[in-house]
Every structure is written in structure tokens, then in C-alpha cells.
Structure 1
Amino acid sequence: MHCRRIFVVDDHPIILSGVGAMINSQDDLTIVGLAGNAEDALEGIGKTLPDVAVVDISLPGVNGVTLIEQLGERFPEISCIALTAHEDPGCLRQVLAAGGRGFVVKRSTATDLLQAIRCVLAGDNYVDPALAARILSPRSAPQGDPGNLSERERSVIQLVALGYSNKEISSRLNLSIKTIETYRTRATEKLELHSRAAIVRFAHSNGWLAELPI
């Protein structure tokens, strides 16, 4: 059986060795390298060229989000999964914006990490159920039609769902805050979305959390 190659980056030796041993116990996966910081990770990944890099967000020096961004620039063929103790949409947004393909919370089970690895290897994105359950609770399914939105309205709603403030969206889209508020109001009225949680659920259901609008 062809084993897919995994590199793990974490500054906690116990977690690093534990995750490595767990992945190596799988018939279809193998560890090709371990690192405790971004500098060693860049060197090791450059030498081993794994299929997937599992990266702790809270690294000393250069943090995991920046490392994921650097890996995407240097090795675009490598899929990155964030491994983190943080469970907030803002952290998820940063990882996705940096090019991460997966987001796994450290308190989750080993099965969740393995599922994330296999998911990104199959070409999909993965969001840990521990976070998804908080921001994507399956209350009422979104009813609006995304086709009713203008390009600007969609961009604004997408950025809201990814955790950006109106001020940040204004700067990113080079529009006034008042204009952003107008687009946001029009879009939420068209889609009948009455809370930020509803916006996030709608964006998730349409696959908008896996991409960042230009």
C-alpha cells in the first residue's frame, strides 16, 4: 500500500511524539519529519516534501498561521492542517486566509485528526466538529438564494462570515464603512439572515468559508 507522507510541527515534545506515533500506526500514513518550530519545519519540509503538514498554531517565534502561509508560497502542492487549542471563528478565518486546508482542535480525538488528514488528501477542506458545532449549529437551514446577491454583496457577506469587521472589510475592498454597511444590510435582507451566526451557517453551506474573496 502506498503511504501518504505527513510532517508534524508542534513545540510540545509530548504532543509531537504522540501525534507522530498515532499517524505512524496507520497503514496508509507515515511520518517523514517532526519539528518544534517554524525554522526547523521549513528546512525539514523542504527536504522531505510531504503530502500534508500538520502545524500547531502557537509556535515560538514565527507562529503557525505565518508558517502555513510561508509553506503555501514555497510548496503549494503541500496541504496544511492547523492543530490548535483555540476554538474561535477568528482563528479559523486566519488559517483559511493563510491557505490552510484543515482546522483541528487539540482537545478532539485522534480519529478527528486522522479524518482531517484523509479529508485534505482527498482534495477537500476540514473544520473540526468542536468548532463547527459552535458556529454552524443546524437550527434552521439557510433559505436565501446566493444568486440574488450582487458580486459586492456576496464579497461583504463572505468576509463577515470569515470574521472580518466592517472596518477591515472597508479597507480590503477599498470602500467606505457606510457603503459596506449598506451592502451588508441589503444582503442580509435578501437572504433573511438575522444574526452573524446565521451568516456563518449560510456561508458554510455554500462553501464560502474555504476561499477568501479578492
Structure 2
Amino acid sequence: MKRTTRTTVWVIDPDPILRRGLRAVLGPAAGITVLGESAGVAEALAAWARQVPAVVVLEPAALGPQAPAAVAGLRAAGPHVLLLAERPAAGEMERLLLAGAGGYLAKTAGGEVLAAAVRSVAAGHRVLDGGFRPLLAGPAPEAQPRPADVRLVRRLSARERAVVKLTAWGMTAREIGERLSVSAKTVETYRSRACAKLGVQSRAELVQWCFQAGLWTPGDLEREPAGPPGGVQPGGAG
């Protein structure tokens, strides 16, 4: 008799009640095994020493502005990512799909729909809730992660590296400018230069590259950056 391969799942949410609810829904589903749950991304990664799940289910709103970086980090670690939301903003949804999310499903979806979405995402298919499709200007974007050449880091100036790391942390150009004592326009200039040097085309690709190169780790989600990274002095030349 042929043995059926089960899809392993990990649930991430800061609310323990929501985590238990998702486990209760997915646990009995055919072909699905819930390996565990955690309140955050860093805790999940630390727990995957023995087995990395096939799919991670989480709500991006719980991660705040660091959601794209968290999704990119999870994908770099191996699992596919299925996001649950009430009704995301169009820009947010595209950023998360480009960061590597395999699917976006309404939180109101039934148990059978959720289980089917998990299996589909695990198989490498893109899943998008029908109610969310009108939020996209065109077809759902496909993430195209590629290995990072860490040698390219040496091409970045100290200021460019600082901007890249803070971008991966989820900060806007204005927020980065305030932290580094430069204008938002100057931040965009540094970011454009960094993208050109690293061979990436978008902010989402830049975040993915940052994870793969080891410039930023999911553990950073657990703490606010203390100051300009990499020893960069505010207002200094880059």
C-alpha cells in the first residue's frame, strides 16, 4: 500500500487563542500534520532544528511593517508561506507576494478551504482568495528568489549598507532618513545605488537578498534597531 505524504504546517501568531483555533481547524484535516506553533518568527526558526515545516500559516498584520522582511526570511529558511487577512491593502498584498508568500486567504475562509490552500501552497502553487483579486492591478506577481552573492556586499558603501539593512527591517525612506539624519530623497538615492550594485530590481528583491546574504536575520523582528547599523554615524558621508 502506497504511503501518503503528509503536509507539515507551523502556525505563527502572537495571540495564543488564534493559534489554538488554527491548530484545531488544520489538525484533523486529511493529509496535514501541525508540527507546532509560536508567537513569532524568531521563535519558530529556533524550533525547526529537527524538521522544517512545508508551510507556515500566519497573519501579516501581527508582524506590522516588518511583514515583508519576515516573509522573505521564512522563505529563505525553506517553508512556503500562507497568509491570512481580513482585507489587505493592494500595495501590502503585492509586497508580500513579491517577498515570497505563496498565498493570501481571507480569515473567514472555512476549514476545508484553508486545508486545501495549505496543500496547494505546499505543492508550489499560488493561492489568492477570490475576494482579494480585484485589489491587484494585474496578475498576482510571482516571487523569483535567487541565491545572494555575498561578495557583492563589499561593493556597498557603509551608508548604502545601512539603508539596505533598515529597508529590510521594514522602515520607510522617511523613517530611515530621520534615523540617519539625511533626507528621504537621499535615502532613495542610496537604495537605488545599492539595488544596482546588487543586481536586484525592487524593494522586495532587496529584502530577500538581504536575508540570503546574512545582513539581516529574523531575530531582528524581536527588537527595535538601537541606532544606525554598521557603525554608520548620522549625517556621515556614504
- Interval of TM-score (by shorter of Structure 1 and Structure 2): 0.5 to 0.7
Q: Distance in 2 between matches of 1:82 and 1:67?
A: 12
1:194 alignment partner in structure 2: none
1:10 alignment partner in structure 2: 13
Alignment of 1:177-188 (within 5 A): none
2:130 alignment partner in structure 1: 129
Question: Is the 8 Å Cα contact of residues 36 and 59 (structure 1) preserved in structure 2?
Answer: no
2:71 alignment partner in structure 1: 68
Question: Is the 8 Å Cα contact of residues 88 and 131 (structure 1) preserved in structure 2?
Answer: no
Q: Distance in 2 between matches of 1:111 and 1:70?
A: 28
Aligned-residue offset at 1:20 = 0.9
| CA distance 1:47–1:5, shift in 2 (3 Å) | same
Amino acid of the structure 2 residue aligned with 1:112: V
Give CA deviations for 1:104-129 in whole Å, capped at 9, x if unaligned: 12123223322211111222101112
Aligned-residue offset at 1:71 = 1.5
Aligned-residue RMSD, C-alpha: 2.3
1:119 alignment partner in structure 2: 120
Aligned length: 143
Amino acid of the structure 2 residue aligned with 1:94: R
Question: Is the 8 Å Cα contact of residues 96 and 209 (structure 1) preserved in structure 2?
Answer: yes
Amino acid of the structure 2 residue aligned with 1:21: A
Aligned-residue offset at 1:53 = 0.9
Give CA deviations for 1:161-206 in whole Å, capped at 9, x if unaligned: 6xxxxxxxxxxxxxxxxxxxxxxxxxxxxxxxxxxxxxx2xx32xx
1:45 lines up with 2:53 in the alignment: no
Unaligned stretches of 5+ residues in structure 2 = 145-199, 202-238
Aligned-residue offset at 1:3 = 1.5
1:98 alignment partner in structure 2: 99
Question: Is the 8 Å Cα contact of residues 11 and 19 (structure 2) preserved in structure 1?
Answer: yes
* Residue aligned with 1:81, SS: strand
2:59 alignment partner in structure 1: 56
Question: Is the 8 Å Cα contact of residues 59 and 84 (structure 2) preserved in structure 1?
Answer: yes
| CA distance 1:210–1:41, shift in 2 (3 Å) | same
1:82 alignment partner in structure 2: 83
Q: Distance in 2 between matches of 1:5 and 1:87?
A: 26
| CA distance 1:101–1:60, shift in 2 (3 Å) | closer
Aligned-residue offset at 1:62 = 7.8
Q: Distance in 2 between matches of 1:58 and 1:67?
A: 12
Question: Is the 8 Å Cα contact of residues 9 and 37 (structure 1) preserved in structure 2?
Answer: yes
Q: Distance in 1 between matches of 2:55 and 2:10?
A: 6
Q: Percent identity?
A: 20
Amino acid of the structure 1 residue aligned with 2:72: E
Q: Distance in 2 between matches of 1:22 and 1:66?
A: 27
Q: TM-score, normalised by structure 1?
A: 0.59
1:209 lines up with 2:141 in the alignment: yes
Tell which has more relative contact order, 1 or 2 (C-alpha 8 A, sep 6+). 2
Q: Distance in 2 between matches of 1:209 and 1:10?
A: 25
